[in-house]
Structure 1
Amino acid sequence: MKFTDIFISKPVLASVVSLFIFLLGLRAATELNVRQYPELENAVVTVTTVYTGADADLIQGFITTPLEQEIASADGIDYLVSTSLQSASSIQAYIRLGEDPNEALTQIVAKVNKMRSELPEEAEDPTIELAVGQNIASMYLSFSSEILDNNQITDYLVREVQPKLATVNGVQRARILGDRTFAMRAWLKPERMAALGITPSEVYGALQQNNVLAAVGGTKGSNVALDLKAATDLNTTEEFERLIIRSEDNAIVRLEDVADVELGSESYQSSVTFNGKQATFMGIEVATDANALDVIEEVRGILENEVFPQLPEGMAGDIPYDGTEYIQDSIDEVVKTLIEAVLIVIAVIYLFLGSLRSVLIPAIAVPLSMVGALFLMLLMGFSINLLTLLAMVLAIGIVVDDAIIVLENIHRHVEEGLSPYDAAIKGARELAWPVVAMTTTLVAVYLPVGFMGGLTGTLFVEFAFSLAGAVLLSGVVALTLSPMMCA
């Protein structure tokens, strides 16, 4: 008895095998992550050093260059990108694909700590941050107002909106862009300072000494316990203006004498506009192991039901960018293409064979192979993205070949006078090894693409293995289900 005879003589076994493939594929479809592109371990380690008051040349010579030379000796770094600005140095170390980002981070931290004693004493300690995955958020939100300024918008987003969105399951971070965090700004007057003999360091020292938070403690009696608090910090513009900078010979110089004090922003270096209006953006970054479609759908529900209806009067919210729309459009196109391909296959087979019964065999084989390929994708840790969807589209024309070949050979024996059962036995025996050879050849053609190195190999590994998996399952279906249905 040949291998194919088992499934022809025992149709229940063939049906169970096909149902097993189909149900595993359906289950995998609910578990697979959905993203725009395959996951790339493009980790970036950012080293930021603040040196207040230093110009870009000083930052470059005494901070950026020494740190660059030391960080470059760490293992696993592909290349470095550095930026030297007024009062700040930023070095980005891009980790080579395939390297462990945590191991590279450990080495970079050790290198930076080694150089700390050689940096200027006035410079702050370098801060090191590791970012893994894409830098583009899955959704961007815009908030603007003709009544409120950006400081007030930022304050509202931090208190009310950001906590709601950051706690959504699957959201990695809700990052505010173009934010203007409240800060007390003292704009010094050089003419007044020169006339009074005041230096910027005196102003800075007075702010440090007089605007502090002190922990006093508490007192406890037999029946009463009190917490003590020293009001040593300044909270209003008026309190800052009355801050004493210098006091000598009954002459007092206050901060308002040498500076304009206002409640402003921590930084004015960035600005965001939307439709020509000043705005504050918020980027919703989805975790790498989360389903982007489900996460963004939940975020949209919170925005429409909780955030947008409760915005303060005069504030408007909008969604300028939603990356999941492109993903959903791609999925819809694949489904549309799959339906069109199945209809074309049915029409062609009917025209050549003239039998509706024969049409059902490849019409079932195509979606079965495609759905079963989803289970193989889940086993290999892949996701539903543009490249795996492209593999599915290409696989439509390939997976149908095996079923059509088996069908036509069995149909030929039926036309020669054999019963459907005998024709299925004979036809399947004749094409068992040719189908195996054809399937193996196609798999061998696509698999090497997945073993390419570098960025290209990382991108196309999911494409190649998904396509090869669908072809492999088409061969299984052609040797099990198709002969049984012909019989």
Structure 2
Amino acid sequence: IIPLPGANYVSISDEFFKRLDQIKKEMPADITLDVSTDQTKFIKRSISEVEETLIISFLLVVLIIYLFFRDFLIAVRPLIDIPVSLVATFFIMYLCGFSINVLTMLGIVLATGLVVDDGIVVTENIYKKLEQGMDKYQAAIEGSKEIFFAVISTSITLAVVFLPVVFLPGFVGRLFREFGIVVASAVLISAFVSLTLTPMLSVKLTRSGHKHSWFYNFTEPFFVGMENGYERLLTLFMKVRGLAWVIIVLSITAAYFIGTTIQQELAPLEDRSQFRLTLSAPEGTSYDFMDMYVDNVTKFVMDSVPEYKTAIANTAGGFGGGSSNSGSVRVNLVDPAYRDRSQQQIVDDVNKSLPRFPEGRVFISQEQTIAVNRRGGQPVQFVIQNNDFEKLKAAIPKMLEAANQSPVLQNVDIDLKFNKPELLVSINRLKATQLGISVQDISQTLQLAYSNLRFGYFTKEGKQYQVIGQVARANRDDPDDLKRLYVRTNSGTLVSIDNVVTVEESATPPSIYHFNRFKSATISASPAPGKTIGDGIAVMRQIAAENLDDTFVTSLSGSSRDFAESSGNTSYAFLLALVLIYLVLAGQFESFIDPLTIMFTVPLAVCGAFISLWMFGLTLNIFSQIGMIMLIGLVTKNGILIVEFANQKREEGLEKVEAVIEASRLRLRPILMTSLAMALGSLPLALSLGDASTSRIPLGVVIVGGVMFSLILTLFVIPSIYTFLSRQRKHEKERNKPDSPVEPHQPKELAL
């Protein structure tokens, strides 16, 4: 059953299984009907795993909020933001026509840590107003009013990050468009909820004459000591604040060198509990021989892979397709929970034993995590092009030899094979004329003997049959059999055709391929164990540079082309996200300098993300790259907290250094709460062990590592950079004039 484009696989599967029992009843008794392969099992398990991750993320976020507020009635207010915001996000998904799939659910998981941020900010500011002695109604109004602009600005900043993702061209945009819209919608909805529902809950859930619990009184000295200790450390760091520039330069340098050493690929290979063996034999191989070859390979797989569930073999392509010298074996494995070896380990073990079959070649392929147009084939596909066919033919052996010798590649193959046997028949026209034999007589004799010519039809017992003429197989299997044919002369005598023709054996390609209008040959290979598609492409480019001259053109095809496209598009999205964030911050702060200070959080986060990927041996792929883009919006929020509040303190009359130290101390708890909520909300992704977890792990590791690494350095680096870049403000200039009276500034607190 092949779904139409845009169809829902899970719905089709559910409907099919509802009808399967009825179909079995209608089948003849001697026919057994069963399901050999069900792709939707993996999809269903993946969605179920993401749903479990969502629950764990929610519980971890609940825990971190309670540990900071240490009061259930206070902590529950931002927690209500999560289900309300997520339900509203599902409504947006419904309006947009999105389905519940792995990527949309992945966006929901990440949104769990994001939507609570605004609720934490508003609740913490209202709580401070209560501590100052305001009644709960006034505290809710004043606290929300004071924080209104900041919440809107930071939410828009974070949502803007996903604009490049939503509008990315190519398959990357199609793949992550739903993901970006889901996360951006959740963030904007959470801002609305935190400014409407959260203040109302603060009024309803705040008890008059409220006293702190024993747990609060027991742990508050720790938090106060943490703030005071941070203030002392920051004061000491300010004495050598020039180190901040050194840290930033080191972070950028480390990110560059570590990033270049990390392996790259399109997406991590998922364990889908299946793989496929593709068999090929020399051109001209009979169907019977190929069928025996396929049976031998199938038996070998069944004997050497105890984890197999079913093995489905096809000869000649199966279902009437393919040539007689091809075949395939699709192996379905038991679920990962019931086997010790992973799919990749099984494939590697089988691959080591494949050379024992000398009849032909066998290639093992695994379904790629992201297969854009289902072209199939091996991951590395390198195309060489040249309009001079002879030069192309001469270059192929050198390219194949170098590729086979490379330790990065395995199962090297090429589509342009000169292996189709041909007999070139040359007619001695002079001798044929002397014997009274025309060229037409010779060609008709060969055609009748070998071309499977249809003479007509005859009917027997109501059925129509074709009349086919050719010599028996026993007399046409050997090239020398052609010499035993006879041709009739004009006089009616028979002359051996060997007297008037010469026969030469040769080999030609079954097809001549073109790529971008050039004659081409595509070299395909699989990465060796421990290598990635990025390593394979790099090696093939190096081999081409060493063996091809300037008349050749090289390109990528299949998964390799998708990989190159995704790398370029995500890099473009990352740079565009940086520009958009800077423009939004410039409009918010009405300054070009303050946003620049905030943007220095980005290299710190990117360095932390690369270090995390390197430490855990993960690759740089499309999921980790999307995580990098998300980091821009996540970590700049911490910079906004410090810079915005420092500006407010300077308006109250504090000097630049004193203002940024005081702002950093007062914003320490909100920074820790929001950062830890995001990190813990993404932690289940980094620790995923179920189906489709291989793709989610890099995304989770990038977010957790980037947020935590940036959190530690931001608390010291950004205040220092602020003292270097922030200019003297207008009221400070007026205050410094000797004859100008200075009007006292009303204290204004901004909690973000």
Kept in 1: contact 2:381–2:524 (CA 8 A): yes
1:177 shift after superposition: 0.7
In structure 2, the residue matched to 1:99 is 342
> What is the alpha-carbon distance in structure 2 between the residues aligned to residue 346 and residue 308 of structure 1?
48
Q: Does 1:46 align with 2:239?
A: no
Amino acid at match of 2:523: G
Q: Does 1:265 align with 2:507?
A: yes
Alignment equivalent of 2:575, drawn from 336, 354, 358:
336
The 5-angstrom pairing of residues 181-220 of structure 1 reads 181=419, 183=421, 200=473
1:405 shift after superposition: 0.8
Q: Runs of 5+ in structure 1 lacking a partner? A: 117-123, 208-236, 246-252, 310-315
Structure of larger gyration radius: 2
- After superposition, give the CA deviation of every residue in 1:275-319 in whole Å (9 maximum; x if it has no partner): 678x4422254743454675465456447xx4344xxxxxx7564
Alignment equivalent of 1:29, drawn from 259, 283, 287:
259
Amino acid at match of 2:264: V
Kept in 2: contact 1:402–1:474 (CA 8 A): no
Rate the CA distance shift 1:55–1:294 in 2: closer, same or farther, 3 A: closer
| Structure number having the greater strand percentage | 1
Kept in 1: contact 2:385–2:392 (CA 8 A): no
> What is the alpha-carbon distance in structure 1 between the residues aligned to residue 253 and residue 380 of structure 2?
34
What is the TM-score normalised by the length of structure 1? 0.65
Rate the CA distance shift 1:473–1:256 in 2: closer, same or farther, 3 A: farther
> What is the alpha-carbon distance in structure 2 between the residues aligned to residue 79 and residue 457 of structure 1?
24
Q: How many residues align?
A: 413
Rate the CA distance shift 1:421–1:320 in 2: closer, same or farther, 3 A: closer
Q: Runs of 5+ in structure 2 lacking a partner? A: 1-227, 317-323, 369-377, 426-444, 451-470, 486-494, 724-752
Alignment equivalent of 1:176, drawn from 401, 408, 414:
414
1:104 shift after superposition: 5.5
Amino acid at match of 1:376: S
1:434 shift after superposition: 2.5
- After superposition, give the CA deviation of every residue in 1:20-50 in whole Å (9 maximum; x if it has no partner): 5443222212212333333557784627486
- After superposition, give the CA deviation of every residue in 1:140-175 in whole Å (9 maximum; x if it has no partner): 223455xx6xxx677523334444566678565763
1:400 shift after superposition: 0.3
1:138 shift after superposition: 4.5
Moved more, 441-450 or 327-336: 327-336
1:433 shift after superposition: 2.9
1:375 shift after superposition: 2.1
1:475 shift after superposition: 1.6
1:131 shift after superposition: 4.9
In structure 2, the residue matched to 1:225 is none
Kept in 1: contact 2:402–2:543 (CA 8 A): no
The 5-angstrom pairing of residues 74-473 of structure 1 reads 74-77=305-308, 80-85=311-316, 86=324, 89-93=327-331, 99=342, 101-103=344-346, 106=349, 129-131=363-365, 135-145=378-388, 155-163=393-401, 175-181=413-419, 183=421, 200=473, 261-265=503-507, 268=510, 272-274=513-515, 279-283=519-523, 285=525, 287=527, 288-289=531-532, 290-291=534-535, 294-295=538-539, 298=542, 301-302=545-546, 306-309=548-551, 319=555, 321=557, 323=561, 325-351=564-590, 356=593, 358-452=594-688, 456-473=692-709
> What is the alpha-carbon distance in structure 1 between the residues aligned to residue 596 and residue 400 of structure 2?
53
RMSD value over aligned CA atoms? Answer: 4.9
Higher relative contact order, chain-length normalized (CA < 8 Å, sep 6+): 1
1:466 shift after superposition: 1.4
Alignment equivalent of 2:291, drawn from 47, 59, 70:
59
Rate the CA distance shift 1:202–1:447 in 2: closer, same or farther, 3 A: same
Kept in 2: contact 1:180–1:265 (CA 8 A): yes
Q: Does 1:9 align with 2:242?
A: no
In structure 1, the residue matched to 2:214 is none
Kept in 2: contact 1:395–1:471 (CA 8 A): yes
Amino acid at match of 2:505: L
What is the TM-score normalised by the length of structure 2? 0.45
Rate the CA distance shift 1:175–1:75 in 2: closer, same or farther, 3 A: same
| Structure number having the greater helix percentage | 2
Kept in 1: contact 2:304–2:350 (CA 8 A): no
1:435 shift after superposition: 1.5
Q: Does 1:474 align with 2:704?
A: no
